[in-house]
Amino acid sequence: MNPVIILWAHPRSMSTAIERVMRERGDFDCLHEPFLHYYYLERTGKGLPHFDSKQNHPTSYAGTRDLILERAESRPVFVKDMSYYVIPELLEDAEFCRRIRHCFLIRNPLRSILSYYRLDNAVALAEIGIEAQWRHFSGLQALGIDDALVLEAETVQADSASAMSRFWQALGLEYREQALTWEQGSIPRDWQYVQGWHQSISDSSSIRRAAAGDATEALAEFETLCLAAPQLREFLAFHLPFYERLRAHRLALEADDAASR
């Protein structure tokens, strides 16, 4: 039985960069947010900027799940998706939950909220996505699924080679250095229907290290933005506790493991 690994992210958490790395490995059939169609076209009907919905793609939860399982019949599958698209439905589908290796990607929500608002100033509280990730993570534990991994975006950004090595090791995958870089400007075909969300990763050739001062600049920009959009401060306050709970389970690098003992 071929493995199905799903990286459950929240928006603007650097998930597309992780997906790009997994694509560059060459040993997975990769799917890009297949449940997005279900959430925005069937479950909520909410508009999403930069989303071309004219695709031959299932729009139901069951149809999307079956698509993933069908792809896994021929080769290993890696999926990048969002917990808020499928919670609570996913947790009611225990058989599918047990078929998947669940991984979660988290990023400081101040940074992700700021990045999201730049692209969609009509963003809703649920679309920040971290509370749904926690419901997902804790729901798996309630089902007796206790091998979920939590990957922290900032750890990957600080040292992508070490962080991805640790992640792959935890998944039982071999290290593939060539996966950490890609051809700048190349765009996977199945990103094109949401290309407006992924311009920065399309314009890069690797995961960029954070620059000194990035965090300070982001905080200042967030504070300024909240003067015009005060709901963003409420969004941050709501999701921050769930982020901290998930972060307590994050996958540490070997050096971090040793320092904590």
Each residue's pLDDT tens digit in the chain (261 positions)?
A: 899 999 999 998 999 999 999 999 999 999 999 999 999 989 987 877 666 765 678 999 999 999 999 999 999 999 999 999 999 999 999 999 999 999 999 999 999 999 889 888 899 999 999 999 999 999 999 999 999 999 999 999 999 999 999 999 999 999 999 999 988 766 766 756 555 545 565 567 778 887 777 889 989 999 999 999 999 999 999 999 999 999 999 998 754 544 443
Q: Residue 48 has what pLDDT?
A: 75
Q: What is the torsional sign of CA 6, 255, 249, 115?
A: negative
- How much is the mean pLDDT over the chain? 89
Give kind and range of the element (H or E) at residue 29: strand 29-32
How many C-beta neighbours within 10 Å does residue 118 have? 12
Report the distance separating Cα 135 and Cα 91, nearest Å.
9
How many C-beta neighbours within 10 Å does residue 206 have? 15
Q: Residue 77 has what pLDDT?
A: 98
The alpha carbons of the chain give a radius of gyration, in whole angstroms, of 18
Taking only the tens place, the pLDDT of each residue in 149-170 is 999 999 999 999 999 999 999 9
> Which domains, and CATH codes, for the chain?
4-260 (3.40.50)
pTM of this structure: 0.90
In the sheet with 77-82, reading across from the earlier edge strand, the strands are 29-32, 77-82, 4-9, 101-106, 149-152
Chain-centroid distance, C-alpha 111: 14
Q: Residue 119 has what pLDDT?
A: 87
Cα separation of the two ends of the chain = 37
Q: Residue 209 has what pLDDT?
A: 82
